[in-house]
Structure 1
Amino acid sequence: MIEAIELKQSDYLTAKPEHLKKEFGQYFTGSAVADYMASMLTFVDIPIVRLLDAGAGAGILTIHAAMRCLAQGNKQVHAVLYEIDSGILSQLESNMQRVAETFKEADGIFTFDIRYEDFVLARPDRKEAPFHVSLINPPYFKYNTKTSPYAGATADLYAGNPNIYASFMAIVASCMEDDGQMVAIVPRSFTNGLYFKGFRHYLNRTMSLERIHIFRSRSQLFREQAVLQENIICFYRKASQNASIKVYTSTGYDDLNKDKNNTYPAAQLIDTSNGYEIIRIPESLEDAQILTDVEYWPSSFENNGYFISTGPVVEHRTKEFIIESDNIHGSIPLLRMHNVKAFKTEWTGENKKDARFMLLDGHEKHTSKNQPYVILKRFSSKDEKRRLVAGVHDPSHMPGKRIALENHLNYIGHQDGPLSQAEAYGLAVLFNSTLLDKYFRCMSGNTQVNATEIRLLKLPTRDIIQKIGMSFRSNETIIQEQIDTLLEYFLKI
């Protein structure tokens, strides 16, 4: 039954125009993933299990959840399924009838109610009886916070409008009965970052995170649909936060049943030391130890007085300032991502991507003081080994009072005045180290390096950072092992 349903679902999605899939944010769940998600459910000791499917599609998640309940001894299940794609409703109805027949053959009862409604706008948490179980693969898309009907739709639950999938998760959480179970396959982006701050606060107060599954490969999970978003599967229970959280890892869905897992204290993964409540996810025991080591560092980015800003040159808005010609009078080099290497910035004018920035009237709001900075790339490719790449900008290499930094770069300085060369190189050693790169990956699954996350970093004190920088010798042959050894020496790790 499952194989035939999945094949029909795949055919439906393949035939659907790309613009409609994007509009619905549709990425249907494969049977292997749905079965794995359902396997996380624990027995519900109640006569009738109420099951919620917030974006049903062809009903794969409901099928696996219902069959899991039946296998665990729940003979009666009632499912409520929401779906707004009219083209798949008949297939959904037929699939639910087949589940009902399977239950009947096992002396059970499966009933269902299909709602052709928008789950977020319907807000079933305000009118439905609570649910006991929900498996969800919600749509992913951002919406216009001024014109979309989704804007403010969950304002009573949390502040902000980060992404439609957060709205789904929040409303499902609100729908749950005490001790109710929610299993969601969603982008990892909600675990960190400023945009999801209000949502995380709500989720951490409402639900207990008890299990996370992460995938080492970005491309395998929804590979037929060419999705490269980093997704996780998370299990939440409607209860106060459990003392521990299990983290499972696999490459993709082919090795789901060979996954490895470790258990960590919840306090180690959910950072309650500030208002952001970032959820850190270590991929291994080694990563977990790095979390612990870094947390013991005596200072922080902000306590050390550093600032981080995003490069102010937004190229599509400053086209009249940007020229490709070399060394035009009244212009300065424009630093782009390709100009930033580990421990240095390099602009020669010989690279085809090199450009200059004209100091026309009004340039001040797009340029910065030419002083020592540590410059971080804001983006890395999905296959890049490092998430953090830090260059050092030496103003003597680019004479003049101003510097132009493109907005795919972050630059770091100190609030009390220019960084010394030693301090700049000390910070660059930290950011280019394996230790901090792994720590950052525990904090963030994004290929984007956000300023908010950098501001939250724990750091050694400034005097230690300066000592590291004074011991650093910049040359063309420096290797990762040398960087890591230098850091280990000064931090005694």
Structure 2
Amino acid sequence: MSKKKKFEIEIDNLIKSCYENIHLINKEKYNQYYTPITIADYMAGMFNNRSESINILDPGCGLGILTMATVKYLLKRSKIKKICVLMYEIDDIVISHLQNNMEELKNICTKKKVELIYTIKNEDFIFSSINLLKENNQKEYDYVVMNPPYNKMSNDSEHKKALKNIGIDVSNYYSAFVQLSCQMLKNKGQLVAITPRSFCNGKYFDKFRDSFLEIMYFNKIHLFESRKDVFDNEDVLQESMIYYCIKGQAKKDAIVKVFHSYNSTLDNIISTNILLRDIIVGDNKVIRLSKGKEEDEIIRCMMRVRCSLQDIGLDVSTGPVVDFREDLNVLHKNYIDGDQVILFPEHINNREINWPIIEGLKKFNYISTNQNNINRLRTNGNYVIVKRMTSKEEKRRIISALYVGNFYNFDLVGIDNKLNYFHINKQGINIDIAKGLNLYLNSTLVDSYFRTFSGNTQVNVSDLKMIRYPDIRQLRLLGKMYENELPSQDIIDKLVKDIIL
């Protein structure tokens, strides 16, 4: 490793001093997570520059860590003469410290005979950038570097309304920051961002992916093995990823460099080259990412599975019962005459339906029918049930169980909306087909494939429709391979391999 120059050491020390002031950031209010210095340097190193003058946008800059890392990169890697930076930070408490940091950075640049011009806006980035885009529609930035807020955006928020007025429809603050920033980039401008991976799939991000990929293309992507690898924080439930994108249209055979590491120290990075067209999949432009040869093989195996869900005449939906919206007197823990079955996630245990729960039940076992809820209940039959939410501690994301109608002497079954269920026209499925489907969904192949396009703990209906499925003959054959209890994981995987692959 080459010896660091004096200006690098000075900027490193300036960045390190930021961590002493991290407690000043209003984390709860603005959903802030500071960027570790190793990650900041790594992100800055993704940029490519041959210009003497660079304009940088840093929305949600915090104490300026990413900007400082980017300036250090420019001073180190190019014949830069002038750097202009626009920085947004809404947190009043941070501004004076940010101002001091930028003055220090400016002095370091001056010693290197580089002019640093910075503007700090203590404003809401969303409202401010919308006004800028409305006023002059200028695309003036060469670089965007960002670690935006991660929280969800409520449908009735002023931000949501303002964004919709300019044709942006997003469900999350980070996607709003990314989309607005992309619009402010010049043609061939470059964006480096660290955000959750959740935008890669799911219907909530369909419009965002469509808009984003229409004007930007991936050049580099970095994946992390665990949710804690970047921020080491229990509150971060989603996997994070870093991506370097360029504004414009990619070449036909464009290659994306995909990197993979196990922690924020970025030791032992594994890299692979993937065609861009193999990353963007389907009409919904799902972003499917492989961490290396093992996941490449999983994708190849899945592509050998024959059918879509539609091909085999099955459908999957989210459970229609929302317990807190039901009348208080219709949900019961213990049976009352006329009640029907209701299933909640807690009724799925060890890949089996455990109903009714006698002790320690948090939700309910039974639901009585009335005119308001009768259409939300399903005819008793055979359904394959999949949890929509899994905890970050669980080893699997796809957790499936078989509900066999004959086991329960009821006419109807209610399915909670934190569950997905496979059906035929909202009716049950043939028992052998249902058993085969349940075994397939519990295979390592399906769970591993799901992880190639989702870094989320949530399994959406759209995700389940993304998966390829065995044909009806294969499902029946799988279903005949066991009686009531699923076999061991090794046997499940062997059956899938022998019968389907």
Return the TM-score normalized by structure 2. 0.90
SS in 1 for 2:311: coil
Change (3 A) 1:181 1:157: farther
Contact map agreement 2:340 2:369 (CA 8 A) in 1: no
Distance 1:467 1:166 in 2: 44
- Tell me, which stretches of 5 or more residues in structure 2 are unaligned? 1-9
Name the structure 2 match of 1:292: 300
Q: What amino acid is aligned across from residue 247 of structure 1 in structure 2?
A: V
Note if 1:352 corresponds to 2:363.
no
Name the structure 1 match of 2:285: 277
Note if 1:328 corresponds to 2:336.
yes
Deviation of residue 341 (structure 1)?
4.0
Contact map agreement 1:340 1:346 (CA 8 A) in 2: yes
Distance 1:491 1:60 in 2: 51
Once the two structures are superposed, the pairs formed by residues 299-448 of structure 1 within 5 Å of their partners are 299-318=307-326, 319-325=328-334, 327-341=335-349, 344-353=352-361, 355-362=364-371, 363-415=373-425, 418-448=428-458
Q: What amino acid is aligned across from residue 470 of structure 1 in structure 2?
A: K
Note if 1:118 corresponds to 2:128.
no
Q: What amino acid is aligned across from residue 186 of structure 2 in structure 1?
A: E
Contact map agreement 1:331 1:356 (CA 8 A) in 2: no
Aligned residues: 482
Contact map agreement 1:27 1:225 (CA 8 A) in 2: no
Note if 1:180 corresponds to 2:202.
no
Distance 1:107 1:464 in 2: 70
Further displaced range: 363-372 or 118-127: 118-127
SS in 2 for 1:212: strand
Distance 2:146 2:419 in 1: 36
SS in 1 for 2:57: strand
Contact map agreement 2:126 2:159 (CA 8 A) in 1: no
Note if 1:55 corresponds to 2:60.
yes
Deviations 1:32-67 (A, max 9, x none): 21111111111x222311111111111111111111
Root mean square deviation, CA, Å: 2.2
Name the structure 2 match of 1:130: 140
Distance 1:423 1:144 in 2: 40
SS in 2 for 1:300: coil
Deviation of residue 416 (structure 1)?
8.8
SS in 2 for 1:221: helix
- Identity, % of aligned pairs? 27
Change (3 A) 1:141 1:455: same
Note if 1:94 corresponds to 2:103.
no
Contact map agreement 1:193 1:450 (CA 8 A) in 2: yes
Deviations 1:181-208 (A, max 9, x none): 1000111111111111111011111111
Change (3 A) 1:129 1:112: farther
Further displaced range: 243-252 or 201-210: 243-252
Note if 1:248 corresponds to 2:259.
yes
Runs of 4+ in 1 over 6 A off after TM superposition: none
Deviation of residue 129 (structure 1)?
5.0
Deviation of residue 395 (structure 1)?
0.7
Deviations 1:411-446 (A, max 9, x none): 111239531111001111110000010111112111
Once the two structures are superposed, the pairs formed by residues 7-22 of structure 1 within 5 Å of their partners are 8-16=17-25, 20-22=26-28
SS in 2 for 1:107: coil
Contact map agreement 1:125 1:172 (CA 8 A) in 2: no
SS in 1 for 2:28: helix
Further displaced range: 113-122 or 55-64: 113-122
Contact map agreement 1:151 1:161 (CA 8 A) in 2: no
Name the structure 1 match of 2:6: none
Deviation of residue 75 (structure 1)?
2.8
Distance 1:228 1:419 in 2: 34
Q: Which of the residues 67, 72, 89 maps onto 2:77?
A: 72
Name the structure 2 match of 1:151: 161
Contact map agreement 1:308 1:411 (CA 8 A) in 2: yes
Further displaced range: 50-59 or 465-474: 465-474
Deviation of residue 283 (structure 1)?
2.2
Distance 1:333 1:3 in 2: 61
Change (3 A) 1:360 1:419: closer
Distance 1:224 1:298 in 2: 41
Distance 2:22 2:191 in 1: 25
Note if 1:458 corresponds to 2:463.
no
Contact map agreement 2:341 2:412 (CA 8 A) in 1: no
Change (3 A) 1:49 1:7: closer
Deviation of residue 144 (structure 1)?
2.8
- Tell me, which stretches of 5 or more residues in structure 1 are unaligned? none
Deviations 1:269-300 (A, max 9, x none): 110x32x1110122222212222332343320
Distance 2:233 2:318 in 1: 36
Change (3 A) 1:445 1:460: same
Distance 1:417 1:320 in 2: 27
Deviations 1:217-255 (A, max 9, x none): 21232225843332111111112135221221122212x
Return the TM-score normalized by structure 1. 0.92
Distance 2:226 2:72 in 1: 29
Change (3 A) 1:154 1:41: farther
Distance 1:389 1:250 in 2: 26
Contact map agreement 1:154 1:167 (CA 8 A) in 2: no
Contact map agreement 1:157 1:170 (CA 8 A) in 2: no
Note if 1:104 corresponds to 2:110.
yes
Q: What amino acid is aligned across from residue 348 of structure 2 in structure 1?
A: V
Q: What amino acid is aligned across from residue 261 of structure 2 in structure 1?
A: S
Q: Which of the residues 208, 215, 224 maps onto 2:217?
A: 208
Distance 1:421 1:40 in 2: 53
Contact map agreement 2:383 2:429 (CA 8 A) in 1: yes
Q: What amino acid is aligned across from residue 181 of structure 1 in structure 2?
A: Q
Deviation of residue 7 (structure 1)?
5.2
Q: What amino acid is aligned across from residue 101 of structure 2 in structure 1?
A: N
Deviation of residue 373 (structure 1)?
0.5
Deviation of residue 385 (structure 1)?
0.9
Deviations 1:87-133 (A, max 9, x none): 21121111111111111222222221222222221224454451111
